[in-house]
C-alpha cells in the first residue's frame, strides 16, 4: 500500500510526549506541563490519532508524566476536519489546526515530543483557548458582506463565469482561523478593543474585502472597503513578509489578494485625488 502517513510511523503502540503551555488566563500562571500519551499507528488502530484525540486522551486521564493529577487541557475545538478553524494553535512552534495534525506524521517514533502552545496574537482565555473576537470585529470594518435588499424573493443573483467563481470560491474558503495573522510579523496582539479600529487588519480581512469587491452586488460598496483599507491598519501596513500565504491551511492566495487590494486602493485614491471625491 502506498499509505505515506502510516509507512513512516513506527508499528505498534508507542508513546508520544506532549509539552503543553498552560495558563489560567492571559499571562496568568503560565506554566508548562508534560504528558505521555500512548498512540497506535493509523494502519492498526481505529483510525489515525491526531493532536485532538491525544488531548481527549489527556482529558480522560489528566495526569502529567510525573504522575501529578491535573486538570484537563482547555482548548477550542469544533468540526475536527479543518473547516471550522477552531482548534488553531502552535504545534511545535508553527501555527496550524490541531485536528489535521496527525501523530503518525508529526511524531512518528517512540518518545517523539509534540509541543502545544496557544496562539500568541490573541489573548489567552485559558490554556490553548484564545479569543479571536478581534478577527470577527475587523470584518465589520471592511463591510464584509454583500449589501442585499433583504430576504424577500427578488430573483437570482448576478451571473458569474466559472473562472470568476473559481477565484471567489477559493477566497470564500477562509474560515477565519487566524493562521495568517499568527504568522504575520505586522499583526500584533492588541488587547485594547479601542485600538482594533486602527490596528492592522491582516491578510484574512484584506482577502475578504477582495472577495466582496469581486461580486457584482458586493462591488456597490467597494468604496467603503477601499476607504477602510486605505486608512491606518489597512492594506499598506502589510510588510510583504508573505508568511500569510505559507501559513494558510486552505492555500488561499492571500498575497495576491493583498496585491489586488493594493492596486484597487491605489487606483481608488488617485481617482479620488483628481475627482475631489
Q: Which of residues 104-123 bind another protein (CB under 8 A)?
A: 105
> String of b and e for 105-126 (b: at least 16 CB within 10 Å)?
bbbbeeebebbbbbbebbbbbb
Binding flags for another protein, 163-182, as an x/- string (CB under 8 A): -xxx-xx--xx-xx------
Integer Cα distance of 139 and 200 in angstroms: 12
Within positions 14 to 73, which residues make up the interface with another protein, using CB under 8 A?
Answer: 24-25, 42, 45-50, 52-53, 56, 59-62, 69-72
Kindly state the number of chain residues that form the binding site for another protein, as judged by CB under 8 A: 121
Integer Cα distance of 127 and 170 in angstroms: 32
Closest distance to another protein from the beta carbon of 60 (Å): 4
Residues 145 and 208 sit within 8 Å (Cβ to Cβ): no
Q: Binding to another protein by residue 212, rule CB under 8 A?
A: yes
Closest distance to another protein from the beta carbon of 243 (Å): 5
DSSP E strands: which ranges in the chain? 13-22, 31-40, 88-91, 94-97, 113-117, 124-126, 129-130
Spatial CA neighbour of 31 closest among 42, 40, 20:
20
Enumerate the β-bridge partners of residue 20: 33, 116
Closest distance to another protein from the beta carbon of 111 (Å): 20
Q: Which stretch binds another protein (CB under 8 A): 10-18, 30-38, 107-115, 161-169?
A: 161-169
Closest distance to another protein from the beta carbon of 170 (Å): 9
Binding flags for another protein, 236-275, as an x/- string (CB under 8 A): xxxxxxxx--xx-----x-xx-xxxxxxxxxx-x------
Q: Binding to another protein by residue 146, rule CB under 8 A?
A: yes
Q: 104: which 3 cell numbers?
A: 503518525
Q: Binding to another protein by residue 224, rule CB under 8 A?
A: no
Amino acid at each position: 500500500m502506498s499509505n505515506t502517513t502510516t509507512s513512516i510511523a513506527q508499528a505498534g503502540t508507542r508513546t508520544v510526549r506532549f509539552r503543553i503551555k498552560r495558563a489560567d488566563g492571559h499571562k496568568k500562571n503560565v506554566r508548562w506541563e508534560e504528558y505521555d500519551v500512548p498512540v497506535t499507528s493509523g494502519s492498526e488502530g481505529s483510525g489515525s490519532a491526531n493532536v485532538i484525540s491525544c488531548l481527549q486522551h489527556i482529558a480522560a486521564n489528566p495526569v502529567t508524566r510525573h504522575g501529578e493529577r491535573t486538570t484537563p487541557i482547555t482548548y477550542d475545538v469544533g468540526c475536527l476536519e479543518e473547516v471550522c478553524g477552531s482548534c488553531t494553535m502552535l504545534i511545535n512552534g508553527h501555527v496550524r489546526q490541531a485536528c489535521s495534525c496527525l501523530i503518525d506524521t508529526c511524531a512518528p517514533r517512540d518518545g517523539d515530543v509534540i509541543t502545544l502552545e496557544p496562539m500568541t496574537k490573541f489573548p489567552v482565555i485559558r490554556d490553548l483557548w484564545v479569543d479571536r473576537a478581534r478577527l470577527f470585529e475587523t470584518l465589520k470594518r471592511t463591510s464584509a458582506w454583500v449589501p442585499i435588499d433583504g430576504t424577500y424573493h427578488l430573483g437570482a443573483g448576478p451571473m458569474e463565469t466559472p473562472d470568476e467563481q473559481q477565484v471567489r470560491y477559493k477566497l470564500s474558503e477562509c474560515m477565519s482561523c487566524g493562521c495568517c495573522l499568527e504568522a504575520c510579523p505586522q499583526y500584533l496582539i492588541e488587547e485594547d478593543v479601542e485600538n482594533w479600529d486602527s490596528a492592522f487588519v491582516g491578510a484574512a480581512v484584506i482577502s475578504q474585502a477582495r472577495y466582496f469587491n469581486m461580486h457584482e452586488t458586493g462591488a456597490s460598496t467597494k468604496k467603503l472597503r477601499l476607504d477602510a483599507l486605505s486608512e491606518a491598519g489597512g492594506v499598506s501596513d502589510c510588510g510583504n513578509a508573505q508568511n500569510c500565504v505559507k501559513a494558510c491551511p486552505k492555500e488561499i492566495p492571500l498575497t495576491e489578494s493583498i496585491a489586488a487590494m493594493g492596486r484597487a486602493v491605489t487606483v481608488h485614491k488617485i481617482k479620488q485625488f483628481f475627482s475631489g471625491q
